[in-house]
Amino acid sequence: ALLDQEPDDDRSGRRTLRAPLGVGPVGVVAVDLVADGPHALVAGTTGAGKSELLRTWVASLAARHPPTAVAFVLVDYKGGSAFDACARLPHVTGVVTDLDAGLGERLLTGLRAEVRDRESQLRAAGVGDLRDLGDGPARLVVVIDEFATLAAELPDFLGALVDVARRGRS
C-alpha cells in the first residue's frame, strides 16, 4: 500500500524523490531527497538496523521512481552482503565492496567525471539545478554502508568524497 502511491510533484510541478520508509504513529514516514536532502546520514549502534533501513530506502526509491529519475552507486565498505538484494535493480550503476585506497580512488575518479559531465550539461542548458534540466540525467545517489568505519580507516577518501558531494549537490 505504501508503494502504490503515485510519485509526488513539488509545488512547481517538478518530480520529487520522495520514498516511504514505513508507517509511524501519524501515518506514512517518507523522505524526499530533493526537498529534504540531498544528503542523509543514518546512525546507530551495531545491530540497530542501519543496513536494513538503507536497503529499504533504496528499494522504496527504485519502486517509486524509474531508472531515468534515480540511479544508485552502492558501497559496502566492509565487503558484506548489505546490498546484494539491491544490486540487480536497473537503477544500480555500480556496486563496490571491500573498498580499499586503490578502489576508492577509482570510485572517486568516476564520481568526479560524473559531476563534471553534469556541470557541463547544466551550463549548456543555462540552468543551475537538475530539477531545471528537464530530461537530464537521473539523480545519482551514493549509498555507503559502514560509513563510520570507512571514515576512520580511509580518511583521505572521506575528504575527497565530501568534496565530490559538495560540488555535486545540485
For the stretch 86-143, pLDDT in tens is: 999 999 998 888 777 888 888 888 988 988 898 898 889 888 877 777 777 888 888 9
What local confidence, expressed as pLDDT, does residue 9 receive?
52
Look at residues 75, 17, 12, 39 and name the one whose alpha carbon lies nearest to residue 168: 39
Task: Flag the least confident range among 20-24, 32-36, 92-96, 109-113.
Answer: 32-36
Residues ≥6 apart with Cβ < 8 Å to 17 = 32, 33, 34, 37, 61, 65, 69, 70, 139
- State pTM to two decimals: 0.83
Mean pLDDT of the chain: 82
Contact, 131 vs 110, CB < 8 A? no
- The whole-number average pLDDT for the span 139-166 is 85
Look at residues 139, 111, 167 and name the one whose alpha carbon lies nearest to residue 35: 139
Phi, psi of 70 (to 5 degrees): -145, 135
Q: Which of 114, 119, 146, 153 is catalytic?
A: 146
Put residue 100 in one of left, alpha, beta given phi > 0 → left and psi -120 to 50 → alpha: beta
Active site residue 6: no
> What is the side-by-side order of every strand in the sheet holding 92-97?
92-97, 70-76, 139-145
Residue holding cell 549509498?
A: 143
Phi, psi of 39 (to 5 degrees): -110, 150
Look at residues 73, 77, 74 and name the one whose alpha carbon lies nearest to residue 101: 77
